[in-house]
Amino acid sequence: MTDDSRKLLIGRSKMDGLVSMAMMRWRTRVRHFHSVSGVAVPLVGTNMVASPLLYLQSGGPTAVLNASAFGVIETARRLGRPLLAARNGLAGLLDGRLVDTARVSKDDIALLPTMPGGSFGVSRHMIPAYYEAPQEWLAVRDVLERHNIHHLLLNGGNGSMGCAARLAEFEQHTGYPLSVIGIPKTIDNDLLGTDFSPGFPSAAKFLATSMREVVLDMNSMEQQRVFIMETMGRHTGWLAAATTAAARPPGDAPLLILLPEVPFDPAVFLPLLDQGLQRHGHCAIAVSEGLKGSDGLPVAESRHDVVYGHEQLGGAGAWLANLVRLQCGITAHVAQVDCLQRAARHLASNVDIHMAYEVGCTAVEWALNGMHGVMTGIVRQLSATRTWEVVPIALAEVGDLERQLPLEYIDVANLGVTPACLDYLRPLLAGEVSVPYGSDGLPDYHPIAWPDV
């Protein structure tokens, strides 16, 4: 570790409350790359000293998105740079709806990592390629110019990183210098170029904990029982697969997982279900909302989401329960976990909170170091001490791409995961970060009312 990075860590350890205590448990190293082949663009000729940074939260919220925001704000303050943020991500940037983080007290800022959601508001709006929507690019230029902003920090998933990759060519298209840094975030864990996406470990920890608890509940029952947990995951099975971390051989009921990566085959599923019921009397199943049949179509009816533009699936659990009832004569219990899994800050993974914070801090440092066109990717160090590093990943290499669960993580024949998958998952779930509870016995969240610029 360099002296500089050590100083950074010391600075960061001042984070208030429980999170700072938890963070001391890991030694995190942040590699400083001063250029990345092909993407480092020096920004010259602009008034950089007084120029504020702009931070955006994009896509669906997670339990730890605000920990990244905290890292961004804290680091900008430490380095003496003003930080603005857009309300509702790119939608707010287009409309010029900016807020000034400087007018919120340090004490209030310190509460950010305790809250799920996206404190500045999020949006699924993406800015298309310049040639498709030049008017949007010019609208963005107007807003940036008005506030003398030359650094954009975009915190989001693979769609947002695609947008960040496009915006990294802002100067080429508009003549206005803009450095862009991506900060990874998505509970789906389908973002390339990072060991995991902040948000996923906490969702995974909540799902696996709940699965372990429900299996204990199920094992108490005397009669044949099938429990189906429908997880999020339209195109990838990371969240459903994460429930396998709950398995505790021997004696536990088996846990079958049904993933979008593996077309559903009743000829595989039904014998395994029957075998589980025969041997244990019970069977637990985790199914991704995006489970597909052999025809490649979602098993549950696809519904158009009029609100978000995204297709909104769901109902794979109910569909499966119906199949189990018809084929086995058993009424299954179905939990559709929905937003609970991405908002469950009360059960956040310490690794997740910690690294969400780190990728936020690092993004600011890199932006002020002249880096550009990169995402703060996370690399797992395969040492016994389980450290994590933050390294630059070219946005162009990750944007709009999707990381499916690798085939070597899936045990297709047994509807399970391989030991390699568990080796991947377990370090992500490590550590607990409690939230402050109020006198009402519930998490004591204090949403911040950000003032307009």
The interface with its own copies within residues 22-81 (CB under 8 A) comprises: 57, 61, 63
Q: Segment 79-138, which members bind its own copies (CB under 8 A)? A: 88, 91-92, 115-119, 121-123, 125
Q: How far is the CB of 440 from its own copies (least distance, A)?
A: 5
Cα distance between residue 237 and residue 184, in whole Å: 19
Q: Looking at 107, 222, 295, 408, which residue binds its own copies (CB under 8 A)? A: 222
Cα distance between residue 214 and residue 290, in whole Å: 23
Q: How far is the CB of 216 from its own copies (least distance, A)?
A: 4
Whether 188 is a known active-site residue: answer yes
Q: How far is the CB of 39 from its own copies (least distance, A)?
A: 30
Task: Confirm or reject binding of residue 420 to its own copies (CB under 8 A).
Answer: no
Nearer CB in complex with its own copies: 63/398: 63
Q: Looking at 244, 349, 362, 376, which residue binds its own copies (CB under 8 A)? A: 349
Task: Confirm or reject binding of residue 151 to its own copies (CB under 8 A).
Answer: no
Count of positions on this chain that bind its own copies (CB under 8 A): 82
Task: Confirm or reject binding of residue 320 to its own copies (CB under 8 A).
Answer: no
Q: How far is the CB of 397 from its own copies (least distance, A)?
A: 28
Q: Segment 355-384, which members bind its own copies (CB under 8 A)? A: none
Nearer CB in complex with its own copies: 294/439: 439
Q: How far is the CB of 215 from its own copies (least distance, A)?
A: 8
Q: Which of 188, 190, 195, 352 is catalytic?
A: 188
Task: Confirm or reject binding of residue 212 to its own copies (CB under 8 A).
Answer: yes
Q: Segment 185-204, which members bind its own copies (CB under 8 A)? A: none
For the annotated catalytic residues, the residue numbers are 188
